Structure 1
Amino acid sequence: MTAVVGCGVIKSMGNNPDGAALARLDTLPNYKDSGFQNLVKRPDSTVKHNRLFSILSNRRQPIRPCYKLPWVKTNLKTLAASAPTVVWFGHSSLLIKTIDCNILIDPVFSNHAGPVPGVMRAFGGTKHYHAKDMPPIDVLIISHDHYDHLDYRTFKKLRASIKMAVVPMGVGSHLIYWGFDPGKIIELNWNQSVTLPGVIVTATPAQHHSNRKFTQHDKTLWASYVIQLGSYRLFYGGDGGYGTHFEQIGRRYGPFDLALLECGQYNQPYVHLGLGQPAQAAVDLRARLLQPIHWAKFPEANHPWDEPIETLLQAAQKLGVQVNVPRIGEPYTLGDPPRQVIWWDF
């Protein structure tokens, strides 16, 4: 059993680009010195932040809820969608359902985030959705290769039901290593688009980083996305710190009907949105509605688990930003009134 688990851990680490795939990256303007670069350099690029050590040695309570989070059981295979309908599964995993297609983003259904099962355990109440609950996936979108966004065990179970995968440059190497058909992978650099049945997907900049192996950093790209569904425009931020790129994206691709922006796990301010910053990013993007993601599932930082949503709502009120906070599994259809029930405070 130990050997099986160890083999699974090694497999889950994936495989960075090499050979012809690596040679292609070398030609890209944002790939320099053997790695991808952010638009803005880290204030002190020599500092190596040991995230795991910080989490384990300096935690503040309560980083986990003391009760199971409320959730809604939705039959995703029969869910009707007269307009784009978003179902959030906790953290950054989402299904966007339209009349024409099913789009699954950053699915993590393994109930932990990381190569070793059981280390970064999901909160109670967030474990009720699985790969088997998903409808056929017309488009899988991955924002970057961190374990809490690209999960090997989830991907392995979904693999046969995915028609096409849209990923940042280099991330396709992981999928191919895990047995996915290279002909079903579309890799995008920032500001590149692909038109698929029912949807136009554009990769846009994000201020983040990538790695699945401790000694290999930034060998694959990270991205946010503009998702155009007919007359509707959605923005998915993935992970990334605050910067002028939000305003630039808003001018070039906005306005947006919905911005899905990270809220929480801000132990690394440069590469994550901090307290209140999602609201300002939504303003910059010219978003009509903000829905927080990247919270309410994994204890990846030292702050109290519900601090992100409380501070976001305060900042959003000051800036006049409407916020939608559905329960896990609760569908939200664009055009409906935002969900405003405070379900996280018992």
Structure 2
Amino acid sequence: MSLRPATSSSPAAAPATSATPSADNKFHNPISRPKTKTGFWAGLRLMWAFFNKPAGTVPEQPVPTQALTREALLAAPDRSLFRLGHSTVLLKLRGVFWLTDPVFAERASPVQWLGPKRFHAPPITLADLPEIEAVILSHDHYDHLDHETVRTLAPKVKHFLTPLGVGDRLIDWGIAADKVRQLNWWESTTVGGLQFTATPAQHFSGRTPFDGNRTLWASWVMIDDDLRVFFSGDTGYFPGFKTIGERFGPFDLTLMETGAYDPRWAYVHMLPEQTVQAHLDLRGRRLVPIHNGTFDLAFHAWQEPFERIAAAARAHSVEVLTPTIGAQLDMVQPAPTPAWWRASAEASPLAAVPSTAT
């Protein structure tokens, strides 16, 4: 796969580092992977664990969602946000719509007859979505980049913003090359008056056993005049959050990975307590936990990420917002959000997680 240069982009001020493929045409993380026990038996034990998961990784009751319509989206006030599931977030800025990591498929998998199945349907269909100014992609894993979703969306999307190499996948899938802008870490581009900068993340890429790390992964900084939003994509905790915060913060809102974690792979997926620390490093004001509530991708109870992020946020006086899937969230003056993942509001004294830290 070739790596086409970014289109209409420029380096952010004095980048500290950028991602450069090594001699084997692979990208690498900002810091090296810690040494862990690997090998055939470790891999076999992990595989066995995935096929013998504990109870509770999938909800027993339907996940509450709020249905959306095109008319409701068009009527929504500017600077509204809607969680559509997992890391798919729809933002309304400057009267148009921006979409992160769109996955509307039934399963986060290369095939739709096997693999992690959705807990809930998307709150709106692809056909009912309004025109999209830009789709912002963090990397090419199946729970963030779905072939059929992208192909179906393409006619109503003006721009696709991707890390290096991911745009080549889109072009190979038939997306018009002039719609695609590929950015290296610390490169910026302007779309519809908004500034987007691809920033480092600590993760990996690939869609087959043979193409690992041949495309780049990234987090994103989005700037709309006085509003600054950070989208983490998938990442482990690393010192780069502090650098991003120093360069682009403070952020009004951070959309932060909180889910599908495990201590065994914390290098590439943050634990909830690390998510809160990353938010603090970014100099964030309000935190919206994403990458949760839609797919069973780890061994923790499906609702655990919400409970742990809420507890960690309270301990550090961080505002955390947990909108119901499909509900409108005001990015500037949010109302309190419910603990919708709980089966009963009376089951716990933490039954409502306020948007204002206490």
Q: TM-score, normalised by structure 1?
A: 0.88
1:273 corresponds to which of 265, 270, 275: 270
**1:182 equivalent among 177, 180, 185:** 177
Query: Within the alignment, does 1:321 sit opposite 2:314 as a pair?
Result: no
1:88-99 matches, cutoff 5 A: 88-99=83-94
Within 5 Å, give how 1:45-194 maps onto structure 2.
47=38, 53=47, 56-79=50-73, 80-194=75-189
- TM-superposed deviation, 1:111: 1.7
More moved, 196-205 vs 218-227: 196-205
Q: 1:66 to 1:196 in 2, by over 3 A?
A: same
SS for the counterpart of 2:254 is strand
Amino acid at match of 1:32: S
Superposed, 1:272-291 pairs within 5 Å as 272-291=269-288
- The aligned residue for residue 38 of structure 1 is 29
Q: Residues of 2 paired with 1:147 and 1:179: CA distance?
A: 18
Deviation larger for 209-218 or 333-342: 333-342
Task: Report the alpha carbon displacement of residue 133 of structure 1 after superposing the two structures with TM.
Answer: 2.4
Tell me the CA shift for residue 280 of structure 1: 1.1
Partners of 1:50 and 1:219 lie apart in 2 by: 23
Note if contact 1:91-1:294 (Cα within 8 Å) is conserved in structure 2.
Answer: yes
Amino acid paired to 2:56? P
Report which stretch shifted further, 264-273 or 290-299: 264-273
Shift of 1:341: 1.1
1:276 and 1:163 map into 2 onto residues whose CA distance is 37
Contact 2:19–2:184, Cα closer than 8 Å, also in 1: no
2:349 is aligned to: none
Q: 1:29 to 1:330 in 2, by over 3 A?
A: closer
The equivalences for 1:13-28 within 5 A come to 17-18=1-2, 21=4
Cα deviation, residue 91, structure 1: 0.6
Aligned residue for 2:267, secondary structure, equals helix
Assess if the C-alpha contact under 8 Å between 1:120 and 1:299 holds in 2: no
CA distance in 2, matches of 1:262, 1:238: 7
1:6 maps to what in 2?
Answer: none
How is 1:241-260 mapped onto 2 (pairs within 5 angstroms)? Answer: 241-260=236-255
CA RMSD of aligned residues (A): 2.0
**Percent sequence identity over aligned pairs:** 37
Structure 1 residue 95: Cα displacement: 0.6
Amino acid at match of 1:31: P
SS in 1 for 2:281: helix
Shift of 1:77: 4.6
Whether the 8 Å CA contact 1:81–1:333 is kept in 2: the answer is: no
Deviation at 1:54, TM superposition (A): 5.7
* Counterpart residue type for residue 20 of structure 2: N
Contact 1:94 1:105 in 2 (8 A): yes
- Give SS of 2:190's match: strand
Whether contact under 8 Å (1:36, 1:219) holds in the other structure is: yes
Q: Give the AA of the match of 1:171.
A: V
Number of equivalences: 324
Contact 2:27 2:213 in 1 (8 A): yes
In the TM superposition, what is the alpha-carbon distance from 1:335 to its structure 2 partner?
2.0
Q: Structure 1 CA distance, aligned partners of 2:142 and 2:186?
A: 24
1:156–1:213: structure 2 CA closer, same or farther, 3 Å change rule? same
* Deviation per residue, 1:142-185 (Å, 9 max, x gap): 10000000000111110111111100001011101110111111
SS at match of 1:193: strand
Q: What are structure 2's unaligned runs of at least 5 residues? A: 6-17, 344-358
Q: Does residue 220 of the first structure (1) align with residue 215 of the second (2)?
A: yes
Query: Which shifted more, 54-63 or 190-199?
Result: 54-63
- Consecutive unaligned residues in structure 1, runs of 5 or more: 1-16, 23-27
Distance in 2, matches of 1:223 and 1:133, equals 29
**CA distance, structure 2, for counterparts of residue 284 and residue 292 of structure 1:** 16
CA change 1:136–1:305 in 2 (3 A) is same
The structure in which a higher percent of residues are strand is: 2
